[in-house]
Each structure stands twice: as C-alpha cells, then as structure tokens.
Amino acid sequence: MTAVDTRWTVTVDRDACIGTGVCAGAAPRQIEIRAGKASALAPETAPDEAVIDAADMCPMSAITVRDAASGALLAPEE
Amino acid sequence: MTIDQEIRKYPFSEVPGIDIDPTYGLLRSTEPLARVQLPYGEVCWLATRYEDVKTVLTDPRFSRAAAQGKDQPRLREEMTYEGIIGLDPPDHTRLRKLAGKALTARRVNGIREDAQRIANEYVDDMIAKGSPGDLVEMFALPFPITVICELLGVPFEDRAQFRIWTEGLTSTSEQLMTYVEQLFGYMGNLVAQRREQPTDDLLGALVKARDEGDRLTEQELLSIAGVGLLLTGVETVSTHIPNFVYALLTKPELMAQLRADRSLVPAAVEELLRMIPLNPAAMFPRYAVEDVELGSGLVRAGEPVLVSLPGANRDPEVFDNPETFDFTREQNPHVAFGHGPHHCLGAQLARMELQVALHTILDRFPELRLADGDAGVSWKSGLLVRGPNKLLVAW
C-alpha cells in the first residue's frame, strides 16, 4: 500500500455465514463472531493481509474485502 | 477452579452405540472446567460449556503451536507430526488457504452431481447382490473413498491400501509409525508423477503451490494431501453414514419424519452431527499462552485445555431440549466440526456427502431395516473414531 490513508471495507453476508469462526481465527483484530455469525469490528480497517486471508478462507465465501475509496474487490479471489 | 480439584480419568467410559457418557452433562452443570488425566501426557482442563469451548477454540491466547514439544494430554503414546492442526495463525493460514480453496461450498456443490452418480452406482451394486447386505462394506466405505479419490486425483485402484492406513492411523496401533511412513511414501510417488506430468486435480494444484509458489514444504504437502485430505476425508464420512443410518433405524419416528418430508434432510444431517460425536473423546489440547479467565474459571499460562465438542453440543444454554433429536430446530449452531481457525477443512464436503448418502438411501430403500437387530451391527473398538464397522441391513 502506498498511500498511508488507504482504507479497506470488510463486509459479511450474514445469510451466507454459518459461523465457522475461521475468519475470526485468521483476523482476530478485525472480525469477531457475534451471536453465532461473523461480524466486522469496524466498517473500515487499515490494510491488513489478515482480512484478505479471512475472506479467502471462508468456506461460504461470505466475507468481502474492498478498497474503500475505489470499491475495487480485493478478496475473495475467484 | 482450584488445583485441589478431583482429577478424573479420561476418557470417562466407553459408552456403547451412539450415546455419550453422562459425565459430560454432569460436569457441564457442576464443574464446567474439570481436571482430567488422559492415558498419556500431563493433567489438563476439560471444558464442557458451549461458550468456554468456543472461547478456547478461537481466542488467540489459546495456542496449538505452543502444544508442540509439550507432554500433551493424549490417547496414545506416540507423538506424531501434527501438520496443519499443530499451527497457529498466521503460519496456519498459509497452509489452510491452499487446501481450503478446493473445499469451499461453491466447489463442493460443483461435484454434488458426481457424488450422486457415485452413490447410485454403489447402491445399484448393493441391490443387485440382494438383501441383506452390509451397508458399511458396500456403501459407506467405498462412496466417500471414490469421491475423495476423484477430487484429489488419487488412483481408486489403491483403495484397499488406504483402508489399512486409515484404520491404522485412527487406531492406537503400535504400527502407527510404519503406516505414516508408508502413506507418505505413497503420496510422495504421486507427487513425483505430477512433477513429470502436471494435473488439474487437487493434488496437482498443491504440487504447483509447492513448486512454483514455494508456499509449502515437502512435508507439509505430503501431510495435507495424505493425512489431511485422503484419510480424514474417508474415515470421517464412512463412519458417520452408518452412525446416522443406525440412529434412524433405531428411532423409527425420526426415519418416518424424514421420509415424509425430504426437505428436512439438510437439517437432519446437522442435528445428527450435533447429537452423534465422531469421536466422543476430546483431542488436540490448546495451551494458554497467558492467564485467561474463562466463564467457568481461570486457566493459567502454560496450562493445557481440552474442549468437549459433544459437551458443548448438548449445552442447555444454547439448545432447547438438548438431549433430544429434533430435525426442526430453527437454529443449530453446533460445533461438531470444531470452531475457529481449525474448523474442519472438509466440513462442506462432509455435509454434501452425508446429505447425498441419506437422500440416496431413503430413495432406494423404502423398506430399509436392521437385518438381524443389534446382532447384525458391530462397532469399531480401540479406535479414535466411533461407529459401526458392520451394519447389516435388509430391504
């Protein structure tokens, strides 16, 4: 990341989420399991590879990470 | 909890059939963080409440990596290479991502039709041979073996050998190390073939990740492909198919309910997973890396904790009528596949295979019954997974 103020958005599709907790294990600073489903701790986060991993590892592909400014999809990779 | 607590021998008892030892329920209400001594290793905590179990499985202060090199509480003497389950994030993440990609819900749904075709073929054979027949030998074993062989790209002709290794790895057999070496040797040969001739199957993808991305060591590659996917992908589902069918055949009201409303099959699979543990005994202790206050008591830095998934799955704080099979639960957040970073990598594959298996059996055997009552059922003994190794059924 070049710009220091780059922000990412982390969103969870709560219908798709089955609450495995894999994401919270990979990115405990950004994602928690709340009432049995994954939930982002904040709507935006500083860039961190851990949230990319969390989105890539979700077996339900329920987590999406985007660049906050451009909306570009960062994860999961297809 | 104080350290002058009673130390209980663990596992508590060998309960026959698909039930679990009532001690789990007793501890959950009276001593939710219990002290237990396994056959080998140091004394440890056993957590039985749902909330505590989830905390131990997700809180990074509880580590699997820290367990390596310790005298871990364990069921058999040998300490084996633990592979992916011996790691914490972020090291764990690197391996998990690679293997997990092949087993997402989307990918698994993509092979559902193949799985259905394979299931039909085995049932065709079974029906051709005539009633009665052993559901384990004729369906529950070959079905998941064939699915995983196709997924991984392993020759199905070698299945007799997998079976010996599979049963060896989940037994407390003294031959364990020999089996591990043979399995690694076998996978090593398949890997070498893929280096000569790349393939599109999962094994080919793992070899590519190893060789081009340098994202796997050779031992990690063999461990993921051999133990992680091939063996756990077979022993688990092939044990739960007869467990589930046995439950349905001995609880006719459940069988009738499922036959009357087939849309209940996915929910039935979840409920059977909740109620019937693949392995009643807890494994893979987590070590606290600092003092942690759980809901049920303090775990000090350096102490190991085991979690009881069957205990959590019957916690009345989470499940209404927790001791009852109920295919109509609105919420069923069971932890049969674990929780957190080590949540079963093959959970979606297992769910799909179990759903296909139940649908196929309901479709093809409208009059299915035990052929000789409990006399026609025998159970695995001395193994780390529990279930029938013979289920004689008539139709």
Q: What 3-state class would DSSP assign to B250?
A: helix
Chain A residues closer than 8 Å to B312 by CB:
none
> What is the pairing mode between strands B7-9 and B33-37?
parallel
Q: What local confidence, expressed as pLDDT, does residue B214 receive?
A: 66
Is residue A41 less than 8 Å (CB to CB) from chain B? no
B364-378 mean pLDDT:
97
Chain B residues closer than 8 Å to A24 by CB:
58, 340
Is B97 in Cβ contact with A56 (below 8 Å)?
yes
| Cβ-Cβ contacts under 8 Å for B153 (sequence gap 6 or more) | B190, B194, B199, B201, B202, B203, B204
Between the CA atoms of B379, B380, B385 and B391, what dihedral angle is there, to the nearest 10 degrees? -50
All domains of chain B, ordered by start, with CATH? Answer: 7-394 (1.10.630.10)
* Distant-in-sequence contacts of B101-108, Cβ < 8 A, 24+ apart: B101/A56, B101/B205, B102/B151, B102/B202, B102/B205, B103/A59, B103/B345, B103/B346, B103/B348, B103/B349, B104/A58, B104/A59, B104/A60, B104/A61, B104/B348, B105/A59, B105/A60, B105/A61, B105/B348, B106/A61, B108/B348, B108/B349, B108/B351, B108/B352
The Cα of A23 is separated from the nearest Cα of chain B by a number of Å equal to 7
The Cα of A6 is separated from the nearest Cα of chain B by a number of Å equal to 23
Q: Is residue B134 scored above 80 in pLDDT?
A: yes
From the list B101, B333, B341, the residue facing A26 with the nearest CB is B341
Is A59 in Cβ contact with B348 (below 8 Å)?
yes
Partners of B39 in beta bridges: none
Is A53 in Cβ contact with B104 (below 8 Å)?
no
The Cα of B93 is separated from the nearest Cα of chain A by a number of Å equal to 7
- Taking Cα atoms as reference points, which of A60, A11, A53, A56 lies closest to residue B107? A60
Quote the percentage of chain B above a pLDDT of 90.
66
B260-273 mean pLDDT:
98
Residue B207 pLDDT class (50, 70, 90 cuts):
confident
Pick the residue from chain A with its C-alpha nearest to B99: A57
CA B39 to chain centre: 21
Name the class of domain A8-69: alpha beta
Is B60 in Cβ contact with A26 (below 8 Å)?
no
Q: What local confidence, expressed as pLDDT, does residue B2 receive?
A: 54
Q: Using one digit for the tens of pLDDT, what is the confidence trace for A38-70?
A: 999 998 999 999 999 999 999 999 999 999 999
Give the C-alpha distances (Å, rounded to integers) separating A59 from A74, B109, B171, B337, B394.
Answer: 17, 12, 30, 13, 38
* Domain ranges across chain A: 8-69
Is A33 in Cβ contact with B58 (below 8 Å)?
yes
Backbone angles phi, psi at B11, to 5 degrees: -60, 155
Strand order in the sheet with A73-75: A44-45, A8-12, A63-67, A73-75
Pick the residue from chain B with its C-alpha nearest to A19: B333
B136-157 mean pLDDT:
91
Q: Using one digit for the tens of pLDDT, what is the confidence trace for B296-307?
A: 999 999 999 999
Q: What local confidence, expressed as pLDDT, does residue B205 receive?
A: 81
Within 13 Å and on the Cβ side, how many CA atoms surround B273? 24
Tokens of B363: 């479709």
The Cα B356–Cα B363 span in angstroms is 10
Residue A78 pLDDT class (50, 70, 90 cuts):
low
Q: Using one digit for the tens of pLDDT, what is the confidence trace for A27-46?
A: 999 999 988 899 999 989 99
From the list B58, B96, B106, the residue facing A21 with the nearest CB is B58
The Cα of A21 is separated from the nearest Cα of chain B by a number of Å equal to 4
Between residues B163 and A64, the one the model is more confident about: A64
Is B54 in Cβ contact with A25 (below 8 Å)?
no
Give the C-alpha distances (Å, rounded to integers) separating B332 from A39, B241, B266, B319, B327.
Answer: 19, 20, 11, 8, 10
For tokens 């392995």, name the residue: B279
For chain B, what is the mean pLDDT? 91
pTM higher than 0.80, yes or no? yes
From the list B97, B337, B339, the residue facing A57 with the nearest CB is B97
Q: Is residue B172 scored above 70 in pLDDT?
A: no
Pick the residue from chain A with its C-alpha nearest to B108: A59
Pick the residue from chain A with its C-alpha nearest to B333: A36
Q: Using one digit for the tens of pLDDT, what is the confidence trace for B59-94?
A: 999 999 999 999 999 988 877 667 788 889 888 888
Residue B382 pLDDT class (50, 70, 90 cuts):
low
Chain A residues closer than 8 Å to B103 by CB:
59
Is B58 in Cβ contact with A28 (below 8 Å)?
yes
Q: Using one digit for the tens of pLDDT, what is the confidence trace for B25-58?
A: 999 999 999 999 999 999 999 999 999 999 999 9
Residue B236 pLDDT class (50, 70, 90 cuts):
very high
Quote the percentage of chain B above a pLDDT of 70.
96
Chain B residues closer than 8 Å to A60 by CB:
104-105, 348
The Cα B43–Cα B379 span in angstroms is 29
The Cα B344–Cα A25 span in angstroms is 13
Does residue A11 contact residue A64 with C-beta atoms inside 8 Å?
Answer: yes
Q: What local confidence, expressed as pLDDT, does residue B229 receive?
A: 80
Residues of B with CB under 8 A from a CB of A: 54, 57-58, 60, 89-90, 92-93, 96-97, 100-101, 103-106, 331, 333, 337, 339-343, 347-348
> What is the pairing mode between strands B304-307 and B44-47?
parallel
| DSSP state for residue B6 in the 8-state scheme | P
CA B26 to chain centre: 25
Among B104-108, B245-249, B279-283, B317-321, where is mean pLDDT lowest?
B104-108
Q: Is residue B223 scored above 90 in pLDDT?
A: no
Query: What are the DSSP calls for B39-107, one per residue?
Result: SBS--EEEE-SHHHHHHHHH-TTEESGGGTTS---BSSS-----GGGG--TTHHHHHHHHHHGGGSHHH
For tokens 């929910």, name the residue: B267
Does residue B27 contact residue B1 with C-beta atoms inside 8 Å?
Answer: no
B156-167 mean pLDDT:
80
For an interface test with B, the pick among A57, A58, A61, A63 (most B C-beta atoms closer than 10 Å) comes out as A57
The Cα B71–Cα B76 span in angstroms is 12
Q: What local confidence, expressed as pLDDT, does residue B152 receive?
A: 85
- A with B: how many residue pairs have Cβ under 8 Å apart? 67
First to last CA, chain B: 54
Pick the residue from chain A with its C-alpha nearest to B103: A59
Q: Is residue B18 scored above 90 in pLDDT?
A: yes
Residue B231 pLDDT class (50, 70, 90 cuts):
confident
B371-376 mean pLDDT:
96
